[in-house]
Amino acid sequence: MKISFIQPSRNNLKYLKWAYNAIRKNQEGHEVEICVADDASTDGTWDWCQEMMEKDPHFKAILNDTGERLGHTILYDRLINEVATHDIAMIYHADMYLCPGALDAIEQEIKPRTIVSLTRIEPPLHPDGPEKILKDFGVEPEEFKEEALLEFIDSRVPNNDITEGIFAPWAFYREDFQKIGGHDPLYAPQSKEDSDIFNRFLLDGVEFVQTWYGCVYHMTCRGSRRNTVDKAKNIYEDSPEWLAQNMRSTRNFIRKWGHFVKHDALMKPIVPNKYDVEFRVFNSNLNLLTLLEPWCSRIYVDNPSLVEPYIQQEQPNTQIDLYNRINIEGVKSELNFRVEGKTFNQQDFGIIQQLSEIIQDSGQIGKFKLGNLEISIQGMTEYQNELINL
């Protein structure tokens, strides 16, 4: 099999070297092209990349020399579209060790219109889950227990053959990736871009396979979220930069899809229907506008003086034009919600967070009330398939 590994990197050279050595050690009979994007690093990453391009004909690299982070949301796509040459590619993190037999497992399952994820073995830095193996073989390359990991890989008997989750590292045909337009830059530089593209793959009919016969050891979150060379205090706390961006990306995900990220226990995406929802808010205030705006297609507030301050505050956090969402006259939605600011409570907000499922399950045309929300449904046109292609 010929496969291109896709690895953006920012100030994590230690992990990048560790990952590179494991790939070359355990690629076995496969032809692996390693494609790295240096995202304005200051730790010598580009010097190393230049050195490796001279030594290794199957190592390719590009440099973001702007001095500002572009993020993997952008650089994944640049590497896939501009650098990779093989039909099959794999989104891969710098803090991953490729285990023996992993590429054989991918080759067995990969085909057009199918994405194959390897099973992650992780130290206990995050809660356990049925889609991964929680076992500690070290949290830094210098303390990595490689021999113990290899003994574990040799002796383990997988509980499953394949399941349907999708997460990094995930291998795919570049043609399938390009068909839907790749990652949405709405989430740049990072966070939720993976959940977004997974939703779109699912809606486009792509199948997901997690193979339990192919593994990586994943130290987790060293790209930026817990990278101590790049603003994180330690490997146990998320960096303030990542937390702020995650909040922005979460609000943008809700704007686009109408709900939080959803998936089953084994990480297969769940995509509720997307509807054209309109909120009309009375006795409004800035806090209520901030809370509700992402959850609808359009929002109308009875206090027009709120609109400009809110847009000035929020527009830098999204590529979506907020002027097309707030107090737009002449546009009517099939689903209308009347929100009374004086009585709006946490129960009402809980209803709003489940709107897609409530509407999908009710199937009712007409007027009714849930909590303090007055709801008028004149139709239930679905729009989620319009989100597949960028």
Q: Where are the domains of the chain?
A: 2-257, 277-387
Query: What mean pLDDT comes out for the span 160-168?
Result: 95
pLDDT-derived band at 358, boundaries 50, 70, 90? confident
How many CA atoms, within 13 angstroms, populate the side-chain half-sphere of residue 212? 15
Architecture in CATH of 2-257: Alpha-Beta Complex (3.90)
Instruction: Give me the pLDDT at residue 369, please.
Output: 92
146 within 8 A of 196, measured Cβ to Cβ: no
What does the angle CA 195 – CA 82 – CA 87 come to, to the nearest 5 degrees?
75
Question: pLDDT tens digits for 72-111?
Answer: 999 999 999 999 999 999 999 999 999 999 999 999 999 9
Sheet holding 277-282, edge to edge: 298-301, 277-282, 335-340, 373-377, 366-370
Query: What mean pLDDT comes out for the span 170-182?
Result: 98
Residue 143 carries which DSSP code? G
Query: What mean pLDDT comes out for the span 118-131?
Result: 94
Query: What mean pLDDT comes out for the span 61-81?
Result: 96
Query: What mean pLDDT comes out for the span 288-300?
Result: 98
What does the angle CA 171 – CA 176 – CA 182 come to, to the nearest 5 degrees?
85
